[in-house]
Amino acid sequence: MAMQDASDKLDAKIILNAPSLEELRPILENALKKNFEQVSVDIVECPNFKAPPFSMSGAGIGNDLRIGEIGGIGNLYPSPRTDKVFDLKEICVTCEIPEAFIFGPGAGPFHVVGHNCEMVADANFIERQNNVATKIAEITASGKGYRMSTIDKTGFALMANLAISDGRPNGKVLRIRATKRNGEMNYPESIRKALTAHYGETLVSLAGVFVLKKGKVHMHVMPDFPGCPWKTHEQVNEWLKYFEMNAPLVCTSVLHSNDVGGHKLRLEHTHCFSEHGDAGHYHYDTTPNDVDYDGYFAPANVIYRIDMV
């Protein structure tokens, strides 16, 4: 079956009334204090994401953040859509910022790697650069049972939730620090639920990067596609391979306060990578007394809903 690039299949452009950082700061700080023992939320200049511990391709979140919401579970269940692929560079064009820094969680390029895998997109196309440093996590038959690697290809598949910006350094962002979790919600979900509680049916979306400095997390890595369609979502969950992975982890995260507009938004999606080879889809931390989160987030101005399935 011939593969089609669906990167230009724009189904909706959602203009957001992004709140100011000054408005968001106390909302998030007060809410996170109900879930973590120590919390601070400050307005700071975005650190250089090219430098450790991030070591990404772009300098920062920049000043014009957009979110590309691409594909979705409908491209995986009940049967994987292997006839459809996407391209990071073309996504930037569709999101009306062709020279962009683009990052975030998604499904890796099975058509490039040779099998299904997880992805942390990471590419810098600013000033005609073509600096692609996407991380993938794939299941292996030996070692830890999974492997992380970096690829320089722009392709991906199935789904992704991508932050896209001008990538300028030193833009203002929210620094959200939280340690010692004493509530039930994980770090990104705590942030998202704070937005939902305050803004109700008004859609507010954030994207950013956080570092888990200490602790362990429950993650999954998708194996290769099954030979026949799934009959239930429970079968999909059983197909995933789960692991406990170790800090330090660099995590890219996209959050939406709601989907009252019916655009099939993935409300929270976070993928992580590391220098020590741990990588995958973040679920929650497993060592609440030890965790130390340090994140940098900004509100998005626009969501581009691409290939809504």
The answer to whether the predicted template modeling score (pTM) of the entire model surpasses 0.85 is yes
pLDDT at 2 over 80: no
Under DSSP, the state recorded for 225 is P
132 occurs within a structural domain: yes
The answer to whether position 4 is within a domain reads no
d(CA 210, CA 187): 10
pLDDT digits (tens, 9 = 90+) for 181-201: 999 999 999 999 999 999 999
201-251: pLDDT as tens digits: 999 999 999 999 999 999 999 999 998 999 999 999 999 999 999 999 999
Cβ-Cβ contacts under 8 Å for 268 (sequence gap 6 or more): 188, 189, 192, 253, 254, 255, 256
CA distances from 82 to 10, 114, 142, 246, 297 (A): 19, 12, 26, 32, 33
Residue 103 within any structural domain of the chain: yes
In a domain, 1, yes or no: no
Give 128: exposed, middle or buried? Use CB within 10 Å, 0-12, 13-18, 19+: exposed
For residues 149, 265, 74, 308, the Cα torsion angle rounded to the nearest 10 degrees is -100
Amino acid 127: pLDDT: 83
The pLDDT score that the predictor gives to residue 129 is 85
Number of domains in the chain: 1
CA distance 74 to 253: 21
Tell me if 61 is assigned to some domain.
yes
Q: Residue 128's domain spans which residues?
A: 10-306
- Is 2 among the domain residues? no
CB atoms within 10 A of CB 152: 10
Q: Which of 88, 226, 237 is nearest to 163 (CA)?
A: 88
CA distance 232 to 137: 25
Give domain status of residue 22, yes or no.
yes
Please say if the pLDDT value at position 1 is more than 80.
no
Judge whether 146 and 64 are in contact, CB under 8 Å. Answer: no
- The answer to whether 28 and 110 are in contact (CB under 8 A) is no
CATH number for the domain harbouring residue 116? 3.30.1330.80
